Every structure is written in structure tokens, then in C-alpha cells.
Amino acid sequence: MLITALAHLLILGRPTGSKLKVAVLAATGMVGQRYVSMLSNHPFFRVAVVTGQNSVGRKYGSATATSNLPIGKDAKGLTVKATNADALDDVDVVFSPLPTDVAKTLEPELARAGFTVITDASPHRMDRLVPLIVPEVNPSHLGILEQQRKVKKWKGLLVATPNCTAAGLALVLKPLHDTLKLKKVIVSTLQAVSGAGYPGVPSLDIIDNVIPFVKDEEEKVETEPLRMLGELGKDRISPAKFDISAMVHRVATTDGHLESLYVETEEPFVPDKVEKILKSFRGEPQKLKLPTAPAEPIIVSNLEARPQPKLDRYAGTVPGMSVVVGRIRKGLDSRSGRLTLLSHNTIRGAAGSTILTAELMYRKGLLS
Ligand SMILES: NC(=O)c1ccc[n+]([C@@H]2O[C@H](COP(=O)([O-])OP(=O)(O)OC[C@H]3O[C@@H](n4cnc5c(N)ncnc54)[C@H](OP(=O)(O)O)[C@@H]3O)[C@@H](O)[C@H]2O)c1
């Protein structure tokens, strides 16, 4: 016990008893439940507050019948509070998978009041002063927070996690753009029903069916990766200069978004070389050995018909955090190629990426 506590102090710089207190807003939703489950026994963070809407007043352990994810015993006994600043006590970090309309007004209010909010919701993702982060892709964009403080005069901070489809896509485009320089990306998606929250798409609409539309999704997939792959300047992030065209589909899988890509590159697209580039990619979270960082952010499968949601969504050392890529092959000419990727939407596309961002901010001294 003493050895564990000393090791903790040496590695993390904090005694075991003093983990940062976090609040999970909308903790009973599809993403909220992922947070609470992933934060059980987390070395830096302890869930101290859970909030909701219809489940307010219930014990968290009995308010989350929509999934069977394991929940830590601390969180099980918490009472779900109403979602407002008064409920948050003195938490150090607020994880916010709020519904869009609520996030739009409440998140800036919380940041103004002094809370550090990291959000999975969409309204502030394209605000020029809000960093949109996938920790392996653009950790340096956290640098815009200095401007955010100056210009918005908030006592706290607001950081965003991208759209669930854009997160996995950006992770794969990053090493490709760094090495082959992307000119054009065409992506067609097959997105799981959990991406629509609970209860999501009516069963009679989705069973035995594919719906070639997800509201506002194509716009997000076409813009957010460009922002993440862009350059941080003095007071803004200039987007990367290539084009993305997206065609999205909702399919009857539970978790995991599959994305088929066609890319045009300035450098030759050589499948064996691309495989090595993707396999060897590591980001700052891997270098820092952050607790939620998978050893391989991108896993390449050479099996014929992979990746598949059912078989691959939990691949890797931190289940759900690795993107699995397969079917790397040439396109129409030597400077184009094709591949398929799979990314877990509520983990890499939401709670997992956001927890990893919080771990990175903690290590960079951005959390109190
Ligand atoms: N699902 C995904 O794959 C995914 C991925 C990335 C980002 N996101 C984003 O994450 C957010 C949550 O998505 P989700 O899939 O978790 O949705 P969800 O399963 O529908 O859950 C909705 C949650 O919001 C709470 N809620 C509803 N109205 C509220 C209000 N007025 N004030 C406070 N809380 C309220 C609900 O609490 P009660 O149960 O107590 O009513 C519930 O916890 C959305 O912004 C979504 O776009 C989702």
C-alpha cells in the first residue's frame, strides 16, 4: 500500500488521496455512461458529481439502465443532480456530453464562472478560441487557451472534442498528411446507432435498413479535421488546405463507425509504405504514457475483410481508443489510395478522447 502510494506520488506528483474531482454532465446518456465507466479507478480523476435531466434525484447506479457498463462503486452511490453551476461544487474538471441546445448556453456560462469544461457537444467546436482536440493529432492547439482567457475574460476554460466520425478520421489523416501531403479526401461512412444517443433511431427505421443521412454530420466531417490538422498562429488556428467530401450513412450496428476513404496525395501513395506510416504513428499521449493512451493509436489489420465493428471496436491496449485500419490499397493512379477505418464512436469519438485530453492538460499543468 505504502509502496503504491509512494509510486503514485513519484509518477504523478500527487498523493493517492488527492485525485482531481470531476463532474460528468448528462452522465446517464450513451456518452455519459462511458465516462463514468472509464473513470472508475482512474489514477488522476475521481467522479464527484453526476448530472442529468429526467433522472435527477435518483442514485446513479439505478439511473443508467440503458447500458451494462461497469460503474465504480463511488459513482454508483452518487445522486444525480440537476445540470447547473450550483451542482458542481468545487470540481476541477467538467466533462460535458450535454445535448447541443443545452451545451450552447451552459458551457460558456460555466467557463465564465471558472470551471474547466471539456465538451463533446458541437456548438463551440468551430469557435476560433476554443481548441478542438484529439490529443495525438493537435496537442499544441491547447496553446490557443491563452488567447481564450485574454479575449473572453473567462475565469475557466472551454476545450472541445470533435464529432465522433471526425475524431477517428483526423487520427488517420494526421500521419498521412504529415508524410504524403493530402490534396483531397473522399469519405463514405457507416455509422452505428449509438451515435444518435439513447434511444436514438427508431428500431422500425433502422432494422433491415440503411439511412443515407445523419443531420449536420457531413458538414462536421468536412470541416473539423481541417481545423485539427491546421496550424496554430498567434491568435487563431488556420485550417489545413485540402478538401474533404463526406457521404454519411446510419446502419444497424450498435457501436463503432466504419469509414471508407479515398485519398489523393502529393507524394506517391505506396500501400506498404502507408501501412508502415500508420502503424508507427505515435503522439504526445503515447510519449507521456498517459493512462488512457493506447500503445498503438492506429492498428493496421492485414486480414482480408477487416476492420469490422463487431470484431475490432475494442482492439488494442485501451479498448475503444485505437482506430483500426485495413484494406489499404491503391487508387486510380500512383498518387491516390483507398483504406477503411473503424473508430469507436462513444470512446475514441467522445468520452475516451476527452479523458485523454484532460490527462494531457493535467500533465501540462493546465488543470488546477
Ligand atoms: N453518442 C455518440 O456517439 C456521441 C459521440 C460524440 C459526441 N456526442 C455528443 O454528446 C452529447 C450527448 O450524446 P449522447 O449520445 O450521450 O446522448 P443521449 O444518450 O441521448 O443522452 C442524453 C443525456 O442528456 C441528459 N439531458 C437531456 N436533457 C438535458 C437537459 N436539458 N439538461 C441537462 N441534461 C440533459 C440526459 O439526462 P437524463 O437521462 O437524466 O434525462 C442524458 O444523460 C450530444 O451533444 C452528442 O452530440 C455523442
- The count of other CB atoms within 10 Å of the CB of residue 343 is 33
Task: Give the residue, by CA position, lying nearest to ligand 1 atom 37.
Answer: 52
Superfamily (CATH) of domain 2-163+351-363: NAD(P)-binding Rossmann-like Domain (3.40.50.720)
Tell which atom from ligand 1 comes closest to the C-alpha of 195: 3
Annotate 231-255 with DSSP letters as a single string. Answer: EE-SS-EEPPSSEEEEE--B-S-SS
Judge whether 257 counts as a catalytic residue.
Answer: yes
**From CA 292, how far away is CA 33, in angstroms rounded?**
16
Active site residue 164: yes
Q: Is CATH 3.40.50.2300 what the domain over 164-344 is classified as, yes or no?
A: no
Q: Which of 164, 177, 249, 344 is catalytic?
A: 164
| Tens digit of each residue's pLDDT, the chain (368 residues) | 334 333 444 444 454 458 999 999 999 999 999 999 999 999 999 999 999 999 999 999 999 867 889 998 889 999 999 999 999 989 999 999 999 999 999 999 999 999 999 999 999 999 999 999 999 999 999 999 999 999 999 999 999 999 999 999 999 999 999 999 999 999 999 999 999 999 999 999 999 999 999 999 999 999 999 999 999 998 899 999 999 999 999 999 999 999 999 999 999 999 999 999 999 999 999 999 999 999 999 999 999 999 999 999 999 999 999 999 999 999 999 999 999 999 999 999 999 999 999 999 999 999 96
Ligand 1 mean position, distance from CA 27 (Å): 8
Q: In the structure, which protein residues have their CB atom closer than 6 angstroms to any atom of ligand 1?
A: 26, 28-32, 52-55, 83, 97-100, 102-103, 120-122, 164, 194-195, 197-198, 345-346, 349-350
pTM above 0.85, yes or no: yes
Residue type, 353: S
Separation between Cα atoms, residue 144 and residue 159, nearest integer Å = 10
Domain coordinates in residue numbering, the chain: 2-163+351-363, 164-344
Give 301's DSSP letter: P
Q: Which residues pair with 300 in a beta bridge?
A: 325
Strand ranges (DSSP E) for the chain? Answer: 20-24, 45-52, 81-82, 93-96, 116-119, 157-160, 182-190, 231-232, 237-238, 243-247, 257-265, 298-300, 323-330, 336-343
